[in-house]
């Protein structure tokens, strides 16, 4: 079974303590209950978990608890098969989409009776919509192989049956009807001829689907394209004859979570909750590589480059979405001018700056930036989707702005576009020419939105990442990687001093030179080496920081602060009383202009070439609490004995 | 996998299906006596067990599952 769809892989996996968290909601205050439930339901849940969420919702409703801000919706479900297993999944999936669903379920297999009888359970309940969840077995279809006339009248009888249901519901309760298209069974009678020959089951169902689509769309009712869904996962996986025989399940239980999510999307769309804007990360999302480090020539978006084509597919999907009225924005951790370069200069880019209503490229956290984007577009957070390859960024936005949809992405970029499409955030039930203009309504000048106050909770999120920063001096094992970092870092690089490998070896072996390499790991895995520092003796009692560079991927996590703590520890042991930092500006490293100021250094002077020197008196340095565990090993050299500095404790 | 291991795993699976706190399983416990049982949750139990143990029961086998002991034996025979 294709797991992207069956397991709803755009949703984060259910937490290990799901049962505990659901139970804990029994004590939740009415003000938070709806919100917390939605958070829990926004994971990929299996049928049992969905059933438990639905039971909870039902109980909460009978106890008179408020489910705000979930929007109430009463849905009647007519079916000719067993839907008892599927109904709770509908309720739970609707929570995920901001809907508090109440389901009216009449007795088994009473489809026509319920629709046509004025005082039936369904009609009396005055539902907001009626889902006609019937499958092909409910239609009066008879084989009439090669017989055009009989085939036509068979199709017309089926359509008449469906129309009578529609008429019955409309005249008795006035509810909106949600009709499903029909998934044909995979068993063919001839083979290829089943499609072309009139009167085979496949061609009869094809014709019914075509005519059904026409009359539903024309009448203002809603179509749920189950045939397309079944085709997407595969008719052989959709239909399970053993389960039909056993319990009259019209499709495999394994696809109930997927089907339920599609019904929920449709209900949410009816309530106007379709999302309206797509926010794109740039590096490794819209192109392969990092523009700040790899430069225009280094990023991958070319036709003919396998990696590049994956990212072009993301651009193409974004453009197509824009064409149907979805607004595009950018949220990227990059210097603004550098982030704009590929759009302005790369010949293979499909996306251009004027496709974006807002273009946020800066070094602030994405939650604060996305809030600014929402403000600028006058859209609620629940209208936004963020596409980002970085699980740390995804986690941050999900945690701090839970109303924003953030799909999980697979490791392989070739599947990014498909995953975004599969999530169906932009599903709508109506499309008008005005929608085509919507993207234009937002002045497409790639505006920079003004940042408002920072979103709360970033520090707490960082602590939840379980980060460990491991420090070592330079050593032979890491030498190649150290040399690589020194030579390819451009953005977070204070002096851009380049070293050959022999020069790195020299620094490593010089007892008067302090060298530092840092590796960062977090709950998502090992980020490898992310920072390098070299301190050289200057005047007496002084270390000059000759090299300080860091991977931009770990910006905003207080790694620089932890690095400074580490340098100070070793400085004290070595009897150093002053640290002198140097900033040599280039056209790539403007981002670190205030690096030393941020760390508490004081500016000393500025020479003619704009290189600035900054000083920090070691004994005056304030200790800083950092949101990570710090491990320090291998520093025998300076004092002749090895010692370890432990987590957030400070030697003063 | 032996019967003891199967029991242990069932203790984790059965509460998920029937929304119970813990399962005090013993071979004589009749499945239909479990609180919250109906014909549909029975099907859900079978399906959940099939997925958890990566096995498939024959339709003909499902009718013979009266108590937990029958269930354990059936699972063991399919592993």
Averaged pLDDT of chain A: 92
B11 min Cα distance to partner chain A (Å): 15
Q: How far is A115 from chain B (nearest CA, A)?
A: 26
What sign does the CA torsion over A157, A161, A166, A168 have? positive
Ordered DSSP codes for A24-72: HGGG--HHHHHHHHHHHHTSB--HHHHHHHHHHHHHHHHTT---TTSEE
Residue A474 or B4, more confident: A474
Would you give the DSSP letter of residue A214? H
Least confident range from A119-128, A307-316, A372-381, B34-43: namely B34-43
The nearest CA of chain A is from the CA of B73 a distance in Å of: 21
Chain A contact set for B37 (CB, 8 A):
none
- The answer to whether residue B42 is domain-embedded is yes
Q: If you average pLDDT over residues A620-630, what whole number do you get?
A: 89
Does residue A205 register a pLDDT over 80? yes
Residue A449 has pLDDT above 80, yes or no: no
Inter-helix orientation angle A256-270/A86-96, to 10°: 50
**Mind telling me how many Å the CA of B16 is from chain A's nearest CA?**
6
Q: Do strands A222-224 and A176-180 pair parallel, antiparallel, or not at all (unpaired)?
A: parallel
In the predicted model, what is the mean pLDDT of residues A500-516? 95
Would the pLDDT of A587 be above 90?
no
Whether A186 and A241 have beta carbons less than 8 Å apart is answered as no
Question: Least CB-CB distance to A247: which of B16, B43, B48?
Answer: B43
Does the structure show a pLDDT above 60 at A638?
A: no
Q: Dump pLDDT digits (tens) for A23-60.
A: 999 988 889 999 999 999 999 999 999 999 999 999 99
- Separation of alpha carbons A73 and A291, rounded Å: 46
Is residue B39, in this structure, part of any structural domain at all? Answer: yes
Size of interface A-B (CB pairs under 8 A): 31
Q: Are β-strands A129-132 and A176-180 bridged in parallel, bridged antiparallel, or unpaired?
A: parallel
Instruction: List beta partners, residue A525.
Output: A522
For the residues A187-212, what does the mean pLDDT come to? 96
**Distance to chain B for A190, nearest Cα, Å:** 29
Write down the pTM of the prediction.
0.88
The superfamily CATH assigns to domain A277-460 is HAD superfamily/HAD-like (3.40.50.1000)
Where residue B30 sits, what CATH number does that domain have?
Answer: 1.10.1200.10
Longest distance between any two alpha carbons in chain B, whole Å: 31
Q: Which of A324, A319, A272 is nearest to A433 (CA)?
A: A324
pLDDT, mean of residues A51-70: 93
Does the pLDDT value for residue A430 go beyond 90?
Answer: no
Q: Mapped to the 3 state alphabet, what secondary structure does A499-526 carry?
A: CCHHHHHHHHHCCCCEEEEEEEEECCEE
* Whole-number pLDDT of residue A445: 64
Mean pLDDT, range B60-74, rounded to an integer? 88
Would you say A115 and A164 are in contact if contact means Cβ atoms under 8 Å apart?
yes
When pLDDT is cut at 50, 70 and 90, the band that residue A441 belongs to is confident
* Domain ranges (residues) in chain A: 70-270, 277-460, 465-632
| pLDDT of amino acid A640 | 37
Q: Is residue B74 part of a domain?
A: no
Give mean pLDDT, residues A289-303.
89
In this prediction, residue A454 carries a pLDDT of 77
* Residue A124: Cβ within 10 Å count: 13
- Residue A643 clears pLDDT 50, i.e. is over it: no
- Which of A18, A249, A255 is CA-nearest to residue B16? A18
pLDDT digits (tens, 9 = 90+) for A309-351: 999 999 999 999 999 999 999 999 999 999 999 999 999 999 9
Report, as an integer, the average pLDDT of A380-408: 97
Q: Number of folded domains in chain B?
A: 1
Chain A residue with Cα closest to B15: A48
- Choose among B17, B19, B43: nearest Cβ to A246: B43
Please identify which residue in the block is written with the tokens 């029994």.
Answer: A26
- Domain boundaries, position B28: 3-60
User: CA-CA distance, A357 to A570, in Å (whole number)?
Assistant: 49
Enumerate chain A positions whose Cβ falls within 8 A of a Cβ in B: 19, 47-49, 51-52, 55, 82, 84-85, 242, 245-247, 249, 253-254
Cα diameter, chain A: 103
Question: Coil, strand, or helix at residue A235?
Answer: helix
Over residues A130-179, the pLDDT tens digits come to 999 999 999 999 999 999 999 999 999 999 999 999 999 999 999 999 99
State the Cα–Cα distance between residues B58 and B39, nearest whole angstrom. Answer: 17
Please tell me if the domain spanning A70-270 has the same topology as the one spanning A277-460. Answer: yes
Contacts of A48 in chain B (CB under 8 A): 16-17, 44, 48
Q: Is the pLDDT of residue A565 over 70?
A: yes
CB–CB contact B44 A246 (8 Å)? no
Q: What pLDDT is stored for residue A649 in this prediction?
A: 40
In A533-609, which ranges are continuous DSSP H helix? 559-573, 595-598
* Residue to test with chain B: of A49, A54, A246, most B Cβ within 10 A: A246
Looking at residue B22, its pLDDT comes to: 63
Domain A70-270 annotated CATH 3.40.50.1110: yes
Instruction: Give B-chain residues touching A53 at CB under 8 angstroms.
Output: none
Flag whether pLDDT at A651 surpasses 50. Answer: no
Average pLDDT in the A510-520 region? 95
Q: Which residue has the higher pLDDT, A128 or A440?
A: A128
CA proximity to B53, closest of B70, B33, B76: B76
Residue A304's pLDDT band, with cuts at 50, 70 and 90, is: confident
**DSSP string computed for A295-328:** HHHHSB--TT-HHHHHHHHHHHHHHHHHHTT-EE
Q: Which of A17, A48, A254 to mutate to test the interface with B (most CBs of B within 10 A)?
A: A48
pLDDT at A444: 62
Residue B38 pLDDT level (bands cut at 50, 70, 90): confident
Measured between CB atoms, which of A47, A242, A254 is closest to B44? A47
Residue A625 confidence (pLDDT): 86
Q: At A279, list the tokens.
A: 């926010």
What is the fold of A465-632?
A: Aminopeptidase (3.40.630)
Q: Across residues A556-575, what is the average pLDDT? A: 94
């Amino acid at each position: 079974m294709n797991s992207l769809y069956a397991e709803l892989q755009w949703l984060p996996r259910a937490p290990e303590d799901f049962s505990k968290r659901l139970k804990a909601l029994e004590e939740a205050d009415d003000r938070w209950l709806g919100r917390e439930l939605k958070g829990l339901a926004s994971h990929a849940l299996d049928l049992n978990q969905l059933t438990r969420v639905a039971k909870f919702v039902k109980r909460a409703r009978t106890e008179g608890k408020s489910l705000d801000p979930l929007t109430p919706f009463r849905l009647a479900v007519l079916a000719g098969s067993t839907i008892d297993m599927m109904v709770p999944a509908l309720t739970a999936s609707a929570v995920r989409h901001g809907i508090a669903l109440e389901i009216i379920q009449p007795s088994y297999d009473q489809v026509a009776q319920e629709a046509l009888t004025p005082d039936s359970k369904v009609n009396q309940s005055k539902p907001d919509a009626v889902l006609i969840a019937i499958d092909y077995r409910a239609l009066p279809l008879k084989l009439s192989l090669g017989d055009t006339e009989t085939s036509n009248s068979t199709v017309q009888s089926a359509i008449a049956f469906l129309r009578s249901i529609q008429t019955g519901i409309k005249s008795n309760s006035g509810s909106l009807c949600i009709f499903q298209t029909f998934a044909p069974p995979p068993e063919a009678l001839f083979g290829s001829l089943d499609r072309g020959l009139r009167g085979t089951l496949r061609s009869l169902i094809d014709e019914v689907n075509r005519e059904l689509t026409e009359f539903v769309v024309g009448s203002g009712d809603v179509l749920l394209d189950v045939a397309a869904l079944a085709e997407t996962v595969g008719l052989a996986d959709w239909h399970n004859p053993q389960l039909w025989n056993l319990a009259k399940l019209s499709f495999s239980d394994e696809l109930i979570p997927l089907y339920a999510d599609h019904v929920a999307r449709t209900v949410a769309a009816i309530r106007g909750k379709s999302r309206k804007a797509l926010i794109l990360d740039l590096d490794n999302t819209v192109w392969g590589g990092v523009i700040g480090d790899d430069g225009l020539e280094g990023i991958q978006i070319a036709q003919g480059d396998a990696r590049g084509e994956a990212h072009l597919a993301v651009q193409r999907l974004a453009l197509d979405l824009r064409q149907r009225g979805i607004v595009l924005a950018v949220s990227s951790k990059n210097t603004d001018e550098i982030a704009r370069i590929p759009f302005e200069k790369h010949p293979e880019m499909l996306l251009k700056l004027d496709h974006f209503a807002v273009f946020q490229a800066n070094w602030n956290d994405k939650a604060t930036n996305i809030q600014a984007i929402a403000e600028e577009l006058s859209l609620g957070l629940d209208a936004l989707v963020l596409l980002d390859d970085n699980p740390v960024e995804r986690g941050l936005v999900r945690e701090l702005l839970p109303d924003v949809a953030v799909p999980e992405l697979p490791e392989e970029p070739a599947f990014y576009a498909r995953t975004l499409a599969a999530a169906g955030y932009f599903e709508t039930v109506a499309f008008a020419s005005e929608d085509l203009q919507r993207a234009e309504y937002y002045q497409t000048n790639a505006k920079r939105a003004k940042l408002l106050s920072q979103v709360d909770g970033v520090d707490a999120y960082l602590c939840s990442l379980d980060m460990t920063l491991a420090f070592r001096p330079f050593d032979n094992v890491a030498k190649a990687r150290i040399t690589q970092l020194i030579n390819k870092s451009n953005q977070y690089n204070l002096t851009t001093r380049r070293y050959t490998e022999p020069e790195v070896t020299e620094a490593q072996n010089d007892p008067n030179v302090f060298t530092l390499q840092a590796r960062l790991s977090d709950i998502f895995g090992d980020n490898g080496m992310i920072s390098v520092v070299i301190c050289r003796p200057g005047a007496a009692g002084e270390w000059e920081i000759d090299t300080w560079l860091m991977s931009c991927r770990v910006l905003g996590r207080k790694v620089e602060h932890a690095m400074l703590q580490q340098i100070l520890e070793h400085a004290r042991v070595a009897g150093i009383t002053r640290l002198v930092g140097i900033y040599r500006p280039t056209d790539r490293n403007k981002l670190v202009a205030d690096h030393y100021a941020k760390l508490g250094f004081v500016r000393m002077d500025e020479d003619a070439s704009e290189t600035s020197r900054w000083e920090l008196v070691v004994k005056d340095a304030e200790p800083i609490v950092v949101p990570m565990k710090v491990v320090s090993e291998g520093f025998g050299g300076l004092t002749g004995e090895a010692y370890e500095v432990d987590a957030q404790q400070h030697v003063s | 996998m032996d019967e003891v291991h199967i029991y242990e795993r069932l203790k984790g699976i059965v509460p998920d299906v029937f929304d119970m706190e813990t399962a005090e399983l013993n071979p004589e416990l009749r499945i239909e006596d479990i609180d919250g049982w109906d014909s549909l949750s029975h099907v859900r139990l079978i399906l959940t067990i099939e997925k958890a143990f990566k096995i498939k029961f024959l339709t003909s086998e499902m009718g013979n599952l009266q108590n937990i002991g029958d269930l354990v034996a059936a699972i063991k025979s399919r592993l």
